[in-house]
Structure 1
């Protein structure tokens, strides 16, 4: 009997772990009760509530007329129209909503996008191929209408979800009175055939500067030099994964080896979050490391695989035309000790290993 309970307990734990790490919560959303109002009326009320914030500026974490972010607009719309609180973040909304196909979208449903990362943007579908959302970048920001068929949103579309009961499809959503803000006058819908926002294209220009730090080299200062970067990046038109590829110039000055280096790298990764880079390098100067006891010459400054590494940007700040990121990277450089020298693992590994931290600005093109 004890063994049976043990297996049962293990099975329950395993089930919960699978549900958590599968990317969705244990329970999908139960459609919100509409009372005496029809599903069509409730959906119209939610869209009308969102429209009353049209023109409100974008503000990260905002939930009022001073500024809204994308999930803040969804939160306010449901609270104003129906008096209920829905999950506050895009990821929580995605986990809570019932997944639906894009072809089955109805006004009031949620649309999700992989913009600055997986599940990083959400909006309210309003019918006729349009959705209303709080945009953080592009030529127009704040609460606006956009077209699902626009290239940027089509390429970053990550799925749709439903938290309202279904009803007869509504071809056109008309503004209705908002019970919370009866005096507010909704902004007009965009003219037919007019796109409310010019979304950023798939190309980006990147510029960065990062000090390099001494990892293992003894008798050398902590500051080892600096790495600059200038790159052209392109977002692949993939819906499931926001892959970004790039071509980068990475000029470097190494004070420990007294060498100027110019790696040319090809990179690939997930938007600003993480990318792997590799490519040839060309050096000016003869790399020599002073360990305090001796001068150790190295070769391999010029190499067809001069550098390979990974860059991670855990913190980004959205700007009107792009994003500023704090990033760090670790790279292996193609330096090889002179065969006549005895092995010194700290000196040899420390020479080849580069650790840098800095800032990068990515400009939407």
Structure 2
């Protein structure tokens, strides 16, 4: 017991910040193990501006990648795989694989209260959901089935007609 207490004190007093990763199910292609990460910090301690810049940097890596239903690479990617990769890269959060599952994670946020990193969901056809990552200034990034990974305006008539909900995955420091 004393060793455990000393270990906890050591970890808490250490200058290195560790984030405890979620377990990724095997069907997502990773070993279901616990890992420690030392950098960069998780979303809940990122400033909003820093988070937006990191999202846009990630978008620059994917811009123009073609849409491929079920795809999960630069050879082709679908909308939920894209949001999953962006959120994991910039915030070290693991999202479910499908847009329908992602639409039930985190907590709901009103469209007027959107902040960079929030997920925006649309019902594009009966029982077909689409998801993107809000970046601010009325814009979101997503993997469009017709144009690949791109930036769109949330206020566009198509997106407003099909808007479903928005979800916030974790609070961000400095945001109220």
TM-score by length of 2: 0.68
Q: Is 1:146 aligned to residue 152 of structure 2? A: yes
The residue aligned with 1:192 is none
**C-alpha distance in 2 between matches for 1:36 and 1:145:** 26
**SS of alignment partner, residue 55 of structure 2:** helix
Alignment map for 1:173-212 (pairs within 5 Å): none
The residue aligned with 2:143 is 134
The residue aligned with 1:157 is 163
The residue aligned with 1:89 is 98
The residue aligned with 2:76 is 67
Higher relative contact order (CA 8 A, sep 6+): 2
Alignment map for 1:113-124 (pairs within 5 Å): 113-118=122-127, 120-124=129-133
Q: Structure 1 stretches of 5 or more lacking a match?
A: 1-31, 170-365
Deviation at 1:48, TM superposition (A): 2.4
Deviation at 1:168, TM superposition (A): 4.9
Aligned residues: 135
Deviation at 1:47, TM superposition (A): 3.7
Structure 1 residues 35, 128: closer, same or farther in 2, change over 3 A? closer
**SS of alignment partner, residue 95 of structure 1:** coil
**SS of alignment partner, residue 96 of structure 2:** coil
**SS of alignment partner, residue 112 of structure 1:** strand
- Select the structure that is richer in strand: 1
The residue aligned with 2:86 is 77
**C-alpha distance in 2 between matches for 1:146 and 1:39:** 20
Alignment map for 1:99-114 (pairs within 5 Å): 99-114=108-123
Deviation at 1:108, TM superposition (A): 0.9
- Select the structure that is richer in helix: 2
Q: Is the 8 A contact 2:45 2:172 kept in 1?
A: no
Deviation at 1:85, TM superposition (A): 2.4
Q: Is the 8 A contact 1:56 1:68 kept in 2?
A: yes
* Deviation digits for residues 15-44 of structure 1 (CA, Å, limit 9, x no counterpart): xxxxxxxxxxxxxxxxx9447643542343
The residue aligned with 2:37 is none
Q: Is the 8 A contact 1:46 1:82 kept in 2?
A: no
- Whose Rg is larger? 1
**Aligned-residue RMSD, C-alpha:** 2.2
The residue aligned with 1:45 is 54
Alignment map for 1:310-325 (pairs within 5 Å): none
Q: Is the 8 A contact 1:119 1:158 kept in 2?
A: no
Deviation at 1:58, TM superposition (A): 0.3
**C-alpha distance in 2 between matches for 1:162 and 1:117:** 24
Q: Structure 2 stretches of 5 or more lacking a match?
A: 1-40
**SS of alignment partner, residue 84 of structure 2:** helix
TM-score by length of 1: 0.34
Deviation at 1:94, TM superposition (A): 0.6
Q: Is the 8 A contact 2:84 2:97 kept in 1?
A: yes
Deviation at 1:51, TM superposition (A): 3.1
Structure 1 residues 149, 66: closer, same or farther in 2, change over 3 A? same
